[in-house]
């Protein structure tokens, strides 16, 4: 019995770690995500899995985001459905001619034929969720963990290039640390060199920084039902990303549900003291992310369909853009005949933001998005579905250019992604590294587990690397890497990829990707601890930020920064490391935007927390790492460090402090 309990805990853990939290329970997410991240990292590190808490996460997933949890395939309605063209399976080929470890679906994405087709998928999803919930209820899991689930619901799961400089050398300024060079991203703080733009609760503050004394130039205050998340600034355009929640009314006039909408509110800020509203684009769902490329904004949101809605209430289960229901032909159907979540993508021009340019929705299970310079990849974690014995990831590819969106291909691979750095596009190929976790042999997942027929079960995690071509068909692959370990960080750099796995030591793998059909592991460095974030740091160097770990107790000894010599990818070395003792975490592992990096200035900064919370800035030379600035933080929340000209700005909540860039001497401060 004890062994079966351990198997159940491991099964639930593998599902819960990548389960999204629904939008409708977001109000406290931003404030609590730091604490949630701390708890998650310590939980993974100490390898202690508390059944009740994990079951609570699963309760949320079963009850609200059920599409992640299709553990039994016995759905009566599904068998009668007409399959879309994306549901027929094709064998995947590797360089040897076949692959037994990956199942590839037909690569062409199919659009929905009608709302009826979508509604049937949603009802199949609902039936499956009820079946799974019934299984857990019989074992007392849902009732016992309900209160835990309520508290867990307030947590939020979050999502690079360098902090690029802009302007001439005399008026340079830093930009957000972005995932893909050349693709802009929103953040909670931005600068254009002459002003700071700051999210401050229900308002956006514009602060003038042309002189040493900072000056509040303008404030854009939102209505109480608008929840500002991020902003973006380019030239004379300010884009405010916010969500709002509206109650829906049934045919009898009663409030029966709440619906989230993501909005991009655009201002003309040619006069920084008098912003003028010029457009507002609205779409269904809670904000996921946004990107900017070649003058066009791409807004991505997650919309959860109401499975209890009637067929006639299309607004409850079909996304809206600018108040109009999306056409069925603009909705891409999933690889299996179930679903209740959408990734909604809308584009508009910064020059003329009054109307949308295009919109598409990817139906199935909304998940993490990776955006290259040409394509948007929507990834979804799958657990115990379609008789799979291991966790899997579905990938859908949507091309974008000049605001036009077009579905291109789809695939499914074994394993799940750690974060967006575990997936990367280069020269038309998609490279990704996944952690493959056992679910249950022979399919059926949870239902099979509780039936007592667990079959032959793989006992440990492993990792796989895939190279997919432009049609998302396998070009090359490597399996069974670092058994019984999980991917903690990754960075692809041209023809070479690096990724870190961890259990008790930190293996940093290097892989040669110059021949997409034959990827090859060429290096493996094992050192204590692990890196949660990797960043290119000049020629032949790779910066790692993570944790130092006691190899015997597998507990953290402090925050660790490492500089790896990657001048020879086949012989990677840790040339220097530095440990910040008495600190047990950073915001780096779950939010790359919080990292300040300027390789040209040889500076990088981040926040770390322990009994106190501090912001650190380091430099690196032949003598190793050197701390050039630290500041104890009194407020609890997101912090950003950035520079403009010869001053560095530290933004913490509604407080801004400025320092000289050469000696980091205090210049000024302002409370907004």
| Per-residue model confidence (pLDDT) at position 504 | 58
Q: Name the band, by pLDDT with cuts 50, 70 and 90, for residue 651.
A: very high
Structure confidence by residue, pLDDT tens digits, 27-47:
433 343 444 344 334 333 433
**Distance from C-alpha of 201 to C-alpha of 193, rounded to nearest angstrom:** 23
| pLDDT at residue 398 tops 70 | yes
> Can you name the residues that pair with 221 across neighbouring β-strands?
203
Rounded to the nearest 10°, the torsion over CA 444, 447, 449, 454 is -30
Of the candidates 271, 172, 259, the residue with the CA atom closest to the CA atom of residue 218: 271
Signed CA dihedral, 533, 535, 541, 543: sign only:
negative
**Distance from C-alpha of 144 to C-alpha of 645, rounded to nearest angstrom:** 57
Specify the residue for token string 């801004």: 656
Structure confidence by residue, pLDDT tens digits, 87-144:
333 333 333 334 434 444 456 789 999 999 999 999 998 888 777 666 556 555 544 4
Q: Does CATH number 2.130.10.10 belong to domain 415-585?
A: yes
Any idea what the Cα angle at residue 408 is, between residues 406 and 414, rounded to 5°?
A: 135
Higher pLDDT, 256 or 293: 293
Are 180 and 373 spatial neighbours (Cβ–Cβ below 8 Å)?
Answer: yes
H/E stretch holding 96? none
Q: Which of 126-130, 316-320, 593-597 has the lowest mean pLDDT?
A: 126-130
Q: Tell me if the pTM is above 0.95.
A: no
| Per-residue model confidence (pLDDT) at position 638 | 87
Average pLDDT over residues 408-418: 94
**Distance from C-alpha of 169 to C-alpha of 601, rounded to nearest angstrom:** 11
Higher pLDDT, 400 or 91: 400
Any idea what the Cα angle at residue 72 is, between residues 69 and 74, rounded to 5°?
A: 135
Structure confidence by residue, pLDDT tens digits, 515-527:
999 999 999 888 7
| Per-residue model confidence (pLDDT) at position 56 | 34
The alpha carbons of the chain give a radius of gyration, in whole angstroms, of 24
> Can you name the residues that pair with 633 across neighbouring β-strands?
613
| Domain boundaries along the sequence of the chain | 2-87+113-152, 415-585
Are 145 and 55 spatial neighbours (Cβ–Cβ below 8 Å)?
Answer: yes
H/E stretch holding 5? helix 2-16
| Per-residue model confidence (pLDDT) at position 382 | 83
Are 578 and 618 spatial neighbours (Cβ–Cβ below 8 Å)?
Answer: yes
Of the candidates 51, 225, 233, 244, the residue with the CA atom closest to the CA atom of residue 142: 51
Q: Six-digit token pair at 67?
A: 């599409």
Mean of all residue pLDDT scores within the chain: 80
Helices (H), 17-172: 29-46, 51-63, 76-79, 115-138, 141-144, 146-152
Higher pLDDT, 150 or 200: 200
Q: Which of 52-61, 100-109, 385-394 has the lowest mean pLDDT?
A: 52-61
């Amino acid at each position: 019995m004890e062994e079966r309990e351990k198997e159940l805990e491991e099964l639930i853990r593998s599902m819960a770690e990548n389960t999204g939290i629904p939008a409708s329970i977001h109000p406290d997410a931003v404030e609590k995500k730091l604490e949630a991240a701390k708890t998650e990292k310590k939980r993974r590190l100490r390898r202690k899995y508390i059944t009740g808490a994990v079951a609570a996460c699963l309760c949320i997933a079963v009850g609200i985001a059920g599409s992640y949890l299709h553990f039994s395939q016995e759905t009566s309605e599904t068998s009668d459905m007409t399959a879309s063209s994306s549901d027929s399976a094709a064998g995947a080929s590797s360089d040897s001619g076949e692959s037994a470890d990956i199942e590839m679906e037909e690569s062409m994405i199919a659009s929905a034929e009608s709302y009826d087709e979508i509604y049937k998928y949603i009802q199949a999803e609902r039936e499956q969720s009820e079946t799974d919930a019934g299984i857990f209820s019989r074992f007392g899991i849902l009732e016992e963990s309900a209160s835990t689930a309520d508290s867990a619901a307030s947590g939020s799961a979050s999502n690079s290039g360098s902090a690029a400089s802009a302007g001439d050398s005399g008026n340079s300024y830093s930009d957000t640390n972005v995932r893909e060079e050349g693709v802009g991203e929103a953040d909670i703080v931005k600068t254009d060199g002459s002003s700071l733009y700051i999210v401050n609760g229900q308002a956006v503050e514009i602060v003038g920084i042309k002189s040493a004394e900072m000056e509040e130039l303008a404030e854009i205050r939102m209505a109480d039902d608008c929840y500002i998340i991020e902003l973006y600034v380019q030239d004379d355009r300010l884009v405010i990303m916010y969500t709002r929640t509206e109650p829906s009314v049934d045919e009898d006039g009663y409030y029966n549900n709440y619906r989230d909408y993501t909005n991009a509110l655009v201002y003309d800020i040619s006069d920084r003291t008098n912003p003028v509203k010029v457009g507002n684009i609205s779409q269904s769902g809670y904000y996921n992310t946004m990107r900017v490329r070649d003058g066009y904004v791409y807004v991505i949101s997650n919309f959860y369909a109401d499975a209890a809605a009637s067929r006639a209430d299309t607004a409850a289960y079909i996304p809206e853009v600018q108040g109009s229901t999306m056409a069925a032909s603009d909705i891409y159907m999933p690889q299996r005949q179930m679903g209740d979540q959408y990734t909604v993508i809308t584009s508009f021009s910064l020059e003329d933001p009054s109307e949308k340019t295009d919109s598409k929705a990817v139906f199935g299970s909304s998940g993490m998005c990776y955006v290259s310079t040409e394509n948007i990849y929507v990834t979804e974690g799958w657990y115990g579905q379609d008789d799979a014995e291991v966790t899997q990831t579905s990938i859908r590819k949507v091309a974008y250019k000049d605001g036009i969106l077009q579905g291109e291909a789809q695939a499914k691979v074994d394993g799940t992604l750690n974060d967006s750095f575990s997936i990367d596009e280069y020269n038309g190929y998609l490279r990704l590294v996944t952690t493959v976790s056992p679910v249950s042999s022979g399919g059926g997942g949870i239902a099979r587990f509780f039936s007592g027929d667990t079959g032959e079960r793989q006992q440990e995690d492993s990792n796989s690397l895939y190279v997919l071509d432009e049609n998302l068909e396998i070009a090359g692959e490597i399996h069974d890497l670092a058994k019984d370990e999980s991917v903690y960080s990754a960075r692809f750099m041209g023809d070479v990829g690096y990724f870190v796995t961890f259990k008790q030591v930190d293996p940093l793998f290097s892989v040669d990707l110059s021949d997409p059909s034959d990827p090859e592991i060429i290096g493996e460095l094992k050192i204590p601890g692990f890196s949660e974030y990797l960043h290119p740091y000049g020629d032949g160097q790779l910066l790692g930020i993570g944790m130092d770990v006691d190899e015997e107790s597998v507990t953290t000894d402090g925050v660790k920064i490492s500089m790896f010599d990657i001048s020879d990818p086949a012989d990677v070395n840790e040339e220097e490391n530095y440990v910040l003792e008495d600190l047990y975490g950073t915001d780096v592992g779950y939010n790359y935007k919080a990292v300040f990096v300027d390789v040209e200035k040889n500076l990088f900064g981040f926040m770390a927390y322990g009994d106190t919370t501090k912001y650190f800035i380091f430099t690196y030379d032949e003598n190793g790492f050197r701390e050039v600035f630290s500041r104890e933080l009194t407020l609890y929340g997101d912090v950003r460090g950035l520079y403009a000209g010869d001053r560095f700005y530290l933004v913490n909540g509604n407080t801004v402090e400025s320092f000289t860039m050469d000696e980091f001497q205090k210049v000024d401060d302002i409370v907004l």
